[in-house]
Amino acid sequence: MIVYGIPNCNTVKKVRAWLTANDLGYEFHDFKKQGITAEKLGEWFAVFGWEKVLNKKGTTWKKLSPEQQEQVKDETTAIAVLLENPSAIKRPVVEKDGKAVLISFDEEQYRDLLNS
């Protein structure tokens, strides 16, 4: 299992604590330090939809100029913005067996999907 995120994000901290408390091993991928690829974003878009992967409620999105925000209209433009601004990715994204299965944190979803 791989948890993608940034270490100082509160939601990522909750997920990591929950996984540890439930004895679920994982690898952590800090996409600010280790990067993220357009291909990986495309995989996540296929599972969750680009609108959900792009975090419009976060500080990074709000700091973008109105012109930059208005340019995001589809998967291609969303990928371009997220590659330049990885902190605008909704986090964490959890992959299990090489497939994205969870985004953000909902304890019930985590229990259902990961404890089975």
Position 116 scores a pLDDT of 58
What is the rounded distance in angstroms from the CA atom of residue 2 to the CA atom of residue 73?
Answer: 29
pLDDT mean by block of 10 residues, the chain; 116 residues: 96 97 96 95 98 95 96 97 96 96 96 84
Q: Which CATH class is domain 2-114?
A: alpha beta
How do the domains of the chain map onto residue ranges? 2-114
Cβ burial of 77 (10 Å; 0-12, 13-18, 19+) is middle
50-54: Cβ within 8 A, 24+ apart: 50/74, 50/75, 50/78, 50/79, 52/90, 52/103, 53/78, 53/82, 53/89, 53/90, 53/93, 53/103, 54/78, 54/81, 54/82, 54/88, 54/89, 54/90
Position 78 scores a pLDDT of 98
What is the rounded distance in angstroms from the CA atom of residue 39 to the CA atom of residue 61?
Answer: 21
Active site residue 95: no
Catalytic option among 2, 3, 7, 9:
9
Residue from 105, 111, 81, 107 nearest 93 by CA:
105
Position 115 scores a pLDDT of 77
Position 31 scores a pLDDT of 93
